[in-house]
A and B are shown apart, each in its own frame.
Chain A
Amino acid sequence: MRGSVLPIENNLEETILNFIKEAFDKKCIEAVILPKRIPSGDSFAYLLIKDKSILEGASPFPPVIPVQGAKAISSLTRQGSVKKKILAIMHPCEIRATIELFKLKQTTLNNLIFMSYDCPGVLPLSDYLENPDENDQTFLAAQQKWDSKDMRPVCKICTEFSAPASDLHIGQLGTDEGKIFLIPNSSVGKEFLNAFGLNSDVPLDEWEAEVEKLKKERENNKKDAQEKLKTKVEGPENLLETLSSCITCHNCMRVCPVCYCRQCYFDSDAFKFPPDNFISKSEKKGSIRLPSDTLIFHLGRMSHMIHSCVSCGTCEDACPMDIPIAQIFNLVADKTQQVLDYKPGRNIEEPLPTVTYQEEELQEFEKPYSETYIKVEETNV
């Protein structure tokens, strides 16, 4: 990997904001999408900004993800392309989700330039809201030390924290004090750096080594965390117990960047039954919980989107009952995506695993009649 080096003036945020302002001046872009603190000061919102004065005080590296960036992008471009050249600065998971939405035909990416950065993780939204000022400091410290202690559980085990399929990537790992790397991932990114007159041919071995190291560390964390979670969710009893406090508000689905359906199947008429349906079920078991579709909702949603789940953790942030829903989905997503050899958001050219196939694949999951049943018969004889 090769890229360029950018010196940090004062602090990282200011450097990036100045970089964007320069990009405006150099006519590389006409607008930018990045988070800014809302007027009440205790949370952040994505803004599409054209006016440089509004850019002042924006937060390219927010301590929380209140709204998944992919949702922001698709709200802008679901109905067609933008004409202005727009730069979007987002967490890697948000960019990965955007790419998935593009594959699902829920956004168009013409004229959009994506900028990502090595992500230290973010704080849980509810924790942050309890004391925004103090948590700003906590996050700042954690960000500098790459300490994921206070970050969200899925951030702690995220291995895709660096260099997604963005156009430009900000490398913070393995740099000397006072410097960051700007790494072009596409021809657009290269042009961008050229416009700035930056030499994009500096070798980035240190960065790569550092990323690998952190990846390994996170990989190990992930293994431990997943083992621990498995004991809580494996088997119907355990899973039901973990989901027992679910109130079926469907917040997880609504904030999920990949769940793009305007009307979820589980909210639709297909899930409205006559009273007999409930009563006969209840008579079989003595009682049924109401609403009766908690488990089918979660498992069904899983079957709809798990191959595209980017483990961004927004669902867990939005859950009023603190169910570790993002961790459960991460566990299943990991396995599913491994089997399908698919990583969501890895490559925009890669087709969704559910719309493509090879004739000679996944045979280990088949149980051909000739092999299983004939053998059984033979042994019976």
Chain B
Amino acid sequence: MDIIITGLLLSGTYALIAMGLNLQYGVARIMNLANGEMLVVGGFAAFILFTGGGVSPLLTLFLVAPVAFFLNWLIYRIMLRPLVNRAKSRGALEQDAILTTFGLSFVMVGLMIWGFGGDYFNYSFLSRPIVIFGDNFGLNRVVAFVCAVALCAALYLWLNHSRAGMAIRAVAVSPESARLVGIDVPKLSARAFALGGAVTAVGGVIISTFLTLDASIGVLFTMKALIIVIMGGVGDVRGTIIAALILGVGETLVATFIDPGLTLAAAYAMFILILLFRPQGLFGRRPT
């Protein structure tokens, strides 16, 4: 039981960062492989503010979100928009985007190592035990879970019930038709990309309250987020949440019963099975 709950608590944050990536890939059509680094940057900010100024990570959230939004908006406008414009085909854009965001990811890692060194960083925030169903869990994990779930829910409601959210979903489904009904697709793509980056950075702040991070760990989170997005189906919020649950619980099971060193291998095994049997995602329809 405690394993299930541990996995569940983990999957809340996974769902959040996967939502960030999903917004970027599903709407802006850019597979952002520097996504995990944005997460580490968020975590770094929380670490510095907490150890330097005693600022609670829960407050840092509100600072990181707008800064990351703006930063990602700039990245999209300056680096990615020219690629979108020059691309002759979806395939060419895909290749360019992969190379660029990989480059960006390495540059961010390089800069973080340059500025702050490659050491692990963590800080002690709300690390008191809390009892759920008779077992002990870190309070920070529970708080992180609550935050992540609240943010996911807010995002979901906003996407489904607001005008702007509706426009974003329209672009995700069909950019051509969205343009026909008067939606400014390039502008919205930039915003969705920025929003996705902000969500991921916020996920980083949350994750730093209970996990130890270092400058080069981002790629691990990128991979996990990707696995979740693909497993859940691109643009499918419900699928994302369930895939995050499967991954979080699955990883915890493997780490407990087999070996903590095999978590990524376990995630990959799931990924392979999905690719082989349901490449369109758990709930996705077959592409037509």
Pairing of A with B:
no
Chain B residues near A (Cβ < 8 Å): none
